[in-house]
Structure 1
Amino acid sequence: MHNATDPHSDSAGPDEPAPSPPVHYAEQALLGALLLTPDQLNTLDTLESGNFGDPSHTAVFAAMSALAPPEAAVHAKEPVWLNSVLDHARRQARGLTASYLHTLIRTCPDPEHAPAYAQIVRSEHARRTLRTHTNRLAQTATTPIEPEPATAVLAQADTLARYLDQLADQFAPHPGSLPRTPTPPEPPRNTGADVLDEERMLLATATAHPREMTRMPWLLPVDFALPVHTALFHCLTALNHRGEPIDPITVLWEAQHRGLLRDTSAQHVLNLLAIPAGSVEHWGENVLQRALLHQAHTTAERIRAYTEDPANSVHQLVTGSRRALADLTAIRTRWERTTSRTPGRSRAPRTTAATRASPPSTTAPGRPTRPSR
């Protein structure tokens, strides 16, 4: 039966919170074991108060860590340890009661299993922390920081990778290490006006100056946000690979052979290729950077799905997250290759912003720098 006076009672009524997760009971059992056998604190040196998810449990363990355990003979006769822990913990958790400390003791199945309970607490803390790193990666990718959003995203990806290395050292591997969590759908691409304008200008400028495409092996059709732009870049790269003439008409003919005109008109394709401006490499770098941010967002969503599946162990979280980061590493390699070769830009460390050069103009003086929309 639900105890209305116990804030940790989890028999939910119609308007009450959902039942507590298994780690809640592990936290209770661990604290109960330490209240019964405080000498076990010396065996849990890798556990910290911040590893607990419940604020009152955090306060209780912080109090235990700050206090000197009583002598065994004194502890066996008097509740000195419980009283000291309660008085100290109330500084952080004012609603904590002596009754709840006794509840912790009653819910501990076996005090000798304290190390196992501590491992459960550490595991769930690892899951929560990994989710926090993942959320930061997603936020950095979707709300980019100017003027170098890629630098900020890659720095956060490095922080996430370092945390995965820490977890790999702390938790032993085991068979069946791959998560079975279904892969979440890819988040939608950013198709704002600026994004589409940059892709259009890249296609038009590459059509007008096809030789510049030979300096861009790092840009792939998949980097484009709009499917029609992806298809047109396929056309350009195919013509360039075959050494055939490239202009709006030859690109249109290639588009027809690739079935692109089933979904769009010939005039629309010609309009997309009509107004070149700026440098092909400059627009290509912008397109690749947006693709990098999108892949970082996709990676973050995939890892977040792993952390939200309670069936995954910490080792499965590490293995699955590293595989997800590998997809980001692939596009990162292309990004670092192009930024190291762009004139006016120096190779920078992963977490240090570089200076972006202005794109050289390949258009006649007075020509518009943006197509009219």
Structure 2
Amino acid sequence: MPNPASNHRDLALDDIPADPPIRFAEQALLGAIILEPLRIKTLGPLGPEHFSLAMHGALFAAMSALTPPAPEIHTREPVWITALLDHARPHARGLTASYLHTLTDACPNPSHAPAYAQMILANRARLTIRSAAERLVQSASDPGLPNPAAHVLDRADAVTALLDDLAGLFPSHPGSLPRTVLPPPPTRDTETGTDAAGEEQLLLSTAAARPACLPEMRWLRPEDFTVPLHGVLYRCMASLAYRGDPVDAVTVLWEAQHHGLLASGTTAREVLDMLATPAGSPEHWGEQILQRALLHHAHTTGLHIHAFTDDPANTLHQLITGSRRALADLGAVRARWQHATRPAAARQPRPQPAPASRAGPPAPRPATPAGSSRASR
């Protein structure tokens, strides 16, 4: 009956979550080794740390540390079970002899032990990818990092290296991409704070006053801006610069009219006022905007990978493939960030070697003795 002294209702039997499939795979594997101890030599890189339950890990550690008995002794005497209990109980207080019998009953076929081991390894790999994705999300949303872009890219490299290692352990197979419904991207306002809109406006006004920088700032895209209005104005400036037209507040306003900006409720005076207060350098403000876009994409990538790991319908191969696709989207923004932040000397195009001159008379061909070709026959 409900407890009147508590605001929480008592848990019913239906409220207890069912054991996940990995629990039965672990029981089947341990039962296979109890029934046929020599099966432990066929399990590959499986270790105690790969099990979801501490008691299962302690029991597998005992199995790995002990020498399996000879088959003829194992069939006559319970020396294997006794040795396992004595070795594992100090690390798993709840382990009993009856639970070992439960494990043997849970094993359909001891010869399938390698398949059970692959299931356990795949589950641990899924949890490892999830932890790496969580660290990526945390670093991308931490405003207190001294160098957030470098830290986030290190986290992304760690996820990439993890996926490469797992792809080598688990052979790929043909299959579809993950069908997981991905969460929406995080709101830019909650990520960037209150300085984003002001810095974007400073970029626009400074670039309008000093437009010579625009051809060199192709690494910045309109979609990098947190305010869509600012992105449209930057696209107007970039279009004017690309065509070689003059760039100032008035020409940008005229171009914005052609982009339909004034029809959306923004007035001409608001655009002119937005472009009237230049300060600093456009490159500096552009890097700030691009860094925020990089962190936003990293945050979104981490959330997508985490969603893949939470979907039990995804095989490990689908999980690795989907995660690599998500990281590839981040890699496009990363390439632009690296281009924007590398030293100015490295941005200069390498001088091409001058083509060889064709002026002057052709070089004389060496004389061939007459009839030499015929004489050689």
Structure-2 residue corresponding to 1:59: 58
Q: Partners in 2 of 1:40 and 1:199 — Cα distance?
A: 64
Instruction: Report deviation, 1:98.
Output: 2.2
Confirm or deny: 8 A CA contact 2:89 2:95 kept in the other structure.
yes
Confirm or deny: 8 A CA contact 1:86 1:97 kept in the other structure.
yes
**Cα offsets for 1:34-91 (capped at 9, x unmatched):** 1111111111231111111122211211221122222323322222222222232223
Q: Partners in 1 of 2:291 and 2:78 — Cα distance?
A: 63
Structure-2 residue corresponding to 1:201: 202
Change (3 A) 1:22 1:271: same
What one-letter code is carried by the residue in structure 2 that aligns with 1:203? L
Q: What secondary structure does 2:41 align onto?
A: helix
Structure-2 residue corresponding to 1:93: 92
**Cα offsets for 1:120-167 (capped at 9, x unmatched):** 111111111111111111111111563321111111111111111111
Structure-2 residue corresponding to 1:269: 271
Q: What secondary structure does 2:126 align onto?
A: helix
Structure-2 residue corresponding to 1:130: 129
Q: How many pairs are equivalent?
A: 334
Structure-1 residue corresponding to 2:294: 292
Q: What secondary structure does 2:342 align onto?
A: helix
Deviates more, 1:72-81 or 1:125-134: 72-81
Task: Map residues 102-251 of structure 1 onto 2, 5 A cutoff.
Answer: 102-144=101-143, 146-189=145-188, 190-251=191-252
What one-letter code is carried by the residue in structure 1 that aligns with 2:340? T
Q: What secondary structure does 2:91 align onto?
A: coil
Change (3 A) 1:145 1:43: farther
Change (3 A) 1:72 1:13: farther
The structure with the larger Rg is 2
Deviates more, 1:52-61 or 1:75-84: 75-84
**Cα offsets for 1:262-313 (capped at 9, x unmatched):** 1433333233222111111111111111111111111111111111111111
Change (3 A) 1:159 1:249: same
Q: Partners in 2 of 1:169 and 1:63 — Cα distance?
A: 28
Q: What secondary structure does 1:91 align onto?
A: helix
**Match among 299, 305, 329 for residue 303 of structure 1:** 305
What one-letter code is carried by the residue in structure 1 that aligns with 2:230? H
Q: What secondary structure does 1:53 align onto?
A: coil
Gaps of 5+ in 2: 1-10, 348-377
Q: Partners in 1 of 2:121 and 2:295 — Cα distance?
A: 32
Instruction: Report deviation, 1:191.
Output: 4.4
Instruction: Report deviation, 1:209.
Output: 0.7
Change (3 A) 1:267 1:62: farther
Q: Partners in 2 of 1:265 and 1:50 — Cα distance?
A: 63
What one-letter code is carried by the residue in structure 2 that aligns with 1:65? S
Deviates more, 1:328-337 or 1:173-182: 173-182
**Cα offsets for 1:229-270 (capped at 9, x unmatched):** 111111111121222222222222222222223143333323
What one-letter code is carried by the residue in structure 2 that aligns with 1:118? A
Structure-2 residue corresponding to 1:361: none
Structure-1 residue corresponding to 2:46: 47
Structure-1 residue corresponding to 2:3: none
CA RMSD of aligned residues (A): 2.0
Confirm or deny: 8 A CA contact 1:167 1:314 kept in the other structure.
no
Confirm or deny: 8 A CA contact 1:145 1:152 kept in the other structure.
no
Q: What secondary structure does 2:67 align onto?
A: coil
Change (3 A) 1:264 1:60: farther
Q: Partners in 2 of 1:47 and 1:191 — Cα distance?
A: 43
Q: What secondary structure does 2:90 align onto?
A: coil
Structure-1 residue corresponding to 2:333: 331
Change (3 A) 1:265 1:59: farther
Q: Partners in 2 of 1:217 and 1:29 — Cα distance?
A: 58
Q: Partners in 1 of 2:218 and 2:271 — Cα distance?
A: 24
Q: Partners in 2 of 1:171 and 1:252 — Cα distance?
A: 57
Change (3 A) 1:136 1:250: same
Change (3 A) 1:67 1:267: farther
Confirm or deny: 8 A CA contact 1:36 1:111 kept in the other structure.
yes
Using the size of structure 1 for normalisation, the TM-score is 0.84
Structure-1 residue corresponding to 2:17: 18
What one-letter code is carried by the residue in structure 1 that aligns with 2:286? G
Using the size of structure 2 for normalisation, the TM-score is 0.83
